[in-house]
């Protein structure tokens, strides 16, 4: 049985994953209507789906442990971006926030001696290492490319491969 504190914290994380899914869906839709960003758009559609999976896993876990996984209301995320660089900066900043939140949850689970939740959260800990690494790599690449059009063309063409390489290295 989950304690009230843990249940509330897990439900806050459910909300955060839902917000991540919405934020990345908005990035996907924005990229979808920009010329030449089909790869980036697909990348964020996929990223949005992944965040929904993160949310679902939490909802199921809370319910399995005798709590109630609350489906949160949806806030409108940022829907337009000044540049591609801004999109990826936002992506990294968001993932860093999620990692901090997961770390706080892990800490709380230990304090409450909830070892089952602590164990459950380890999947998220590993996931966040990968997500942050991916977001950092993509930001570094964009930094190198700058305004170079052929570089951006290759970035858009290759972005799904980065995602796939990352996915290959982890289990769901």
Contacts of 19 (CB under 8 A, 6+ apart): 72, 74, 75, 77
Residue with the CB atom nearest ligand FEO in the bound state = 54
Complete DSSP assignment for 84-137: HHHHHHHHHHHHHHHHHHHHHHHHHHHHTT-HHHHHHHHHHHHHHHHHHHHHHH
- Our CB check for ligand FEO shows the closer of 108 and 152 to be 108
Binding positions for ligand FEO, rule: CB under 6 A: 17, 20, 51, 54, 95, 98, 131
Q: How far is the CB of 128 from ligand FEO (least distance, A)?
A: 7
Q: How far is the CB of 153 from ligand FEO (least distance, A)?
A: 27
The residue assigned the tokens 């709590």 is: 67
Phi, psi at 169, each rounded to 5° = -90, 10
Q: How far is the CB of 65 from ligand FEO (least distance, A)?
A: 20
- Our CB check for ligand FEO shows the closer of 119 and 153 to be 119
Q: How far is the CB of 129 from ligand FEO (least distance, A)?
A: 11
- Our CB check for ligand FEO shows the closer of 71 and 144 to be 71
- Our CB check for ligand FEO shows the closer of 51 and 114 to be 51
- Our CB check for ligand FEO shows the closer of 17 and 114 to be 17
Q: How far is the CB of 35 from ligand FEO (least distance, A)?
A: 28
Q: Give the whole-angstrom CA distance, residue 92 versus residue 139.
A: 8
Task: Write the CA distances from 158 to 37, 95, 154, 155, integer angstroms.
Answer: 11, 21, 6, 5
DSSP state of 82: S
């Amino acid at each position: 049985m989950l304690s009230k504190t843990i249940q509330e914290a897990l439900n806050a994380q459910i909300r955060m994953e839902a917000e991540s899914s919405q934020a990345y869906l908005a990035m996907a839709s924005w990229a979808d209507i920009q010329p030449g960003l089909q790869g980036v758009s697909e990348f964020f559609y996929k990223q949005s789906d992944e965040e929904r999976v993160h949310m679902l896993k939490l909802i199921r876990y809370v319910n399995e442990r005798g709590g109630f996984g609350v489906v949160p209301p949806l806030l409108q995320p940022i829907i337009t971006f000044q540049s591609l660089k801004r999109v990826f900066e936002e992506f990294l900043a968001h993932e860093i926030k999620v990692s901090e939140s997961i770390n706080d949850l892990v800490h709380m689970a230990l304090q409450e001696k909830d070892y089952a939740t602590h164990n459950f959260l380890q999947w998220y800990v590993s996931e966040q290492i990968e997500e942050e690494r991916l977001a950092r790599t993509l930001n570094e690449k964009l930094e190198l490319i700058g305004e170079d059009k052929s570089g951006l063309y290759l970035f858009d063409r290759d972005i799904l491969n980065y995602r796939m390489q990352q996915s290959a290295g982890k289990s769901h």
